Chains A and B, each alone.
Chain A
Amino acid sequence: MATPFQGKLERVDACRVRIPRDSVPGMRVDGMIYADETLMKSVKGDPCVAQVANVATLPGIVKRSLAMPDIHFGYGFCIGGVAATDPAGGGVISPGGVGYDINCGVRLIRSDLCRSDVEPRVRELTDALFTTIPCGVGRGGKVKLKGRQLDDVLARGAASVIDRGFGVPGDTEMTEDHGCLAGADPGCVSDRARQRGGDQCGTLGSGNHFIELQVVDAVFDKDAAAALGIEQGQITVMIHSGSRGLGHQVCDDAIRDLRDVPRKYGIELPDRQLVCAPVHSKEGQRYFKGMQAAANFAWANRQIMTHLARQALSAVLEQPWERIGLHLVYDVAHNIAKMESFPVGTVTKTLCIHRKGATRAYPPGHPDVPPKYRRIGQPVIIPGDMGRCSYVLVGQPGAMEHTFGSTCHGAGRLMSRHAAIRAAKGRSIHKELLSRGVYACARSRKGLDEEQPDAYKDVREVVSVVENAGISKIVCRLQPIGVIKG
C-alpha cells in the first residue's frame, strides 16, 4: 500500500521541485513537480510524490517524470502526471498513465448572451440542462449504439455523431485532434466494453463530472479572449465528462491483459498499476488502438451533450442555438496517451505522451492549433470547483521546452470523500452554493457534499503556478451560476 515519500526533494525555483534520479532505486530520470511552497505543503506527506518517482522507472522514459500543480494520488501514475516515452528506445505505454476514464476532458461553449440576459432565468436554464442531458448513476442516454454504429463512433469520434445530426462540422475544428484519433481500432474494444458503453454515449455520468452555466467574470488577456470570442460578462457553458463505462472497461481489460507482459519483456515494476508494454509490441499496440477508440467514444459523448445543451438552452430562450451564438470554443482531453513530436536534444522525436489529469498546451504558431487560434496558442480549459471559478488559459512556448506541451487540468482534490461528507454534516451545500450565487441540480445529495468547493484545492493557486512557470497563460476566469451534477 502507498506510503509517504521518503526520498529527496530539491526546490529548483519558485514553481518547481525536483526528485533527483538517485533518490529512489530504479529511477531512470529525475522527477519534477510543478508546485509553489503553498501547494507543496499539501503534497509533501502524500504518497503521490512516490508515484512521480515510480513513473521515472518506466523503460524509455524521456527527460523527466512530470507532475502538474494539481497533483494528487492516483493509480500507478499520480493525477496530474505527464510522462513521455520513446518507442524507438524501448519506450512503453501504460494504461495507468491514462487512467480508467480514457479521454475524460472538458469543453467550453460560448454564447452571445450576457449576465443580465440570463440572470432572472438561471434556474429555468439549469433545470432545462438537467432534464435534457441524462446524468447520474445508471441513467442511459437517448442514443443506443450497437454493432456498426458503435464501430463508427469508435473509429471516427465526434464526426460520427455530427453526421447523425448531433452538432455541426465546425465543432470538430475546435476539438483537440478534431475529435478523432486516427489510430483507433474498434476491433481492440472488447464485447464487455461495448456492452457497458452501448447506451451511455451522450450521458454525463456522476462523480466529478458536471455541466456548468458560467459567466466570464474577469478577462486578463483581452486580445486572446477576443480571438476566442470571449468577453467580460458573457455567458458560457462548460461540459466535463469522459468515455463512460466503455472507457473504464477498456482500461480494466488492458490491465488484466498486460498482467504478465512486463515479465515477458524483462520490465520490473514498483506497482502493479504501472503495468505496461513496449509501445511497438503487439500487446502495447492492442492497448493503444483500443484506448484511441475509447478516446473517440468520449469525444462523441461530449459532442452529443453539446447538441443536447444547445437544444435545452434554445428551447428555454425560444431562439435557434445559432442565434444565441452557442459555438464551441475548444475541447481538450485530460486523460490520454498520444504520439506527438518534440525536440529532444538536437533532434525531433515522436514520443508517446501520457497525460493523466493533464492537458495539452501547445504554444502560438504550433501547426496543430486551429488556424483561428494559432496566433494566441491552444486554448486550455481548467475547471475549478463548483463554488469558486474555472479558467481559460492558452499554451506557451515553455510547455514545449519543459513539459511535452502539457499543463494542469483542474483544481485537484484536497479532502477525501469521507472528510468532505463529514464537513458537510449539518450544512446544506445546495443552500450554501445558492448564497454564493450558484444554483445546483444534483441527482445525489451525497455527490454534492463530496464535490463541495472546500474539497478542492484553490484552482487560482494551480493556474498561477503554470503561468509563472511559463507553460501556459491565463486568459479569463469563469464563475459558475448554474451547475448540473450526476
Chain B
Amino acid sequence: MSAPDAGFEFQEHTADVKLHVWGDTLAALFQAAATGFYRLIGELVSTDVGETVTIELQAPDATDLLHDWLAELLFRFDTRHLHISEIEFAQISDAYLSATGQGRRVDLERSRFDSEIKAVTYHGLEVKQRRGRYEATVILDL
C-alpha cells in the first residue's frame, strides 16, 4: 500500500483500518505514524502559511504515548482542520514527548478526502522493539 521506506503501511481489517508503522527510533516511529495518519484521511491540500504548533504529551508508556500522539493529531484535525507537518521532536522517550511542527489549515474544496477517522483504538496496540527497530500496529476506527 505504500513505499517500504515510508515507515508505514495499511493492512487488512474488516470494518476499519490497521496502520502498521515502524522506525529506527521512537521519533521515526511517531513521524511515520503521523504521515500514515494524514495519508489515510486523504490527499490533503493545505491553505495558508503555517502556524508553529507545539505538542507536549505525557503517558505511562510508549504504547499510550503513541495513542495519545495520534489522538492529538486527530483532535487538531477535527476541530481546526490542521494538517501538521515538518514535525520535529525536541524530546521523546517512552513516557514523554515534546514536538513542534507547522500546522496548516486544510483546504476543504481542493483536498481529496478518503476516510473520516473517528478514533484511535487501543485494540492490540503495543509499541515493540525488535532487532533495534520500533514497531506498532494501530487500528483506527472509521
Which of B15, B71, B106 lies at the interface centre, i.e. has the most chain A CB atoms within 10 A of its CB? B15
Contact residues in B for A182 (Cβ distance below 8 Å): none
- With A137-B41, A248-B119, A272-B122 known as contacts, the answer to whether A75 contacts B141 (CB < 8 A) is yes
A290 to B18, CA, bound (A): 28
8 Å CB interface, A331-345 against B: none
A320 at the interface (CB under 8 A from B): no
Contact residues in A for B17 (Cβ distance below 8 Å): 417
B110 at the interface (CB under 8 A from A): no
8 Å CB interface, A416-457 against B: 416-419, 443-444, 446-447
Contact of A137 among B64, B116, B119 (CB under 8 A): B116
8 Å CB interface, B53-86 against A: 60, 64, 71, 75, 77-79, 81
B139 at the interface (CB under 8 A from A): yes
- Kindly report which residue of chain A lies nearest to residue B124, judged by CB atoms: A1
A288 at the interface (CB under 8 A from B): no
- Kindly report which residue of chain B lies nearest to residue A449, judged by CB atoms: B114
**Are A100 and B118 neighbours in the complex by a CB distance under 8 Å?**
yes
- Kindly report which residue of chain B lies nearest to residue A76, judged by CB atoms: B123
- With A444-B42, A447-B115 known as contacts, the answer to whether A245 contacts B15 (CB < 8 A) is no
- Bin chain A's interface residue count: 35 or more
Among B6-14, B24-32, B91-99, the stretch that binds chain A is: B6-14
- Kindly report which residue of chain B lies nearest to residue A199, judged by CB atoms: B79
- With A245-B78, A417-B13, A444-B42 known as contacts, the answer to whether A251 contacts B122 (CB < 8 A) is no
A37 to B77, CA, bound (A): 44
**Are A417 and B142 neighbours in the complex by a CB distance under 8 Å?**
yes
Contact of B115 among A192, A207, A248, A415 (CB under 8 A): A207
**Are A195 and B123 neighbours in the complex by a CB distance under 8 Å?**
no
Hey, what's the 0/1 contact readout for B112-128 against A, CB within 8 Å counting as 1?
Answer: 11111011111111000
**Are A418 and B79 neighbours in the complex by a CB distance under 8 Å?**
no
Which residues in B have some Cβ–Cβ distance to A below 8 Å? 1, 10, 12-17, 41-42, 60, 64, 71, 75, 77-79, 81, 106, 108, 112-116, 118-125, 137, 139, 141-142
Knowing that A101-B118, A419-B12 are A-B contacts, what are 20 other residue pairs whose CB atoms are under 8 Å apart, sorted by A's residue number? A1-B124, A2-B123, A72-B14, A73-B15, A75-B121, A100-B141, A138-B108, A195-B75, A195-B79, A196-B78, A196-B79, A205-B116, A206-B115, A245-B78, A248-B119, A249-B75, A417-B17, A446-B115, A447-B113, A486-B116
Which residues in A have some Cβ–Cβ distance to B below 8 Å? 1-2, 46, 72-76, 79, 100-101, 136-139, 192, 195-196, 198, 205-207, 245, 248-249, 251-252, 255, 259, 271-273, 413-419, 443-444, 446-447, 486
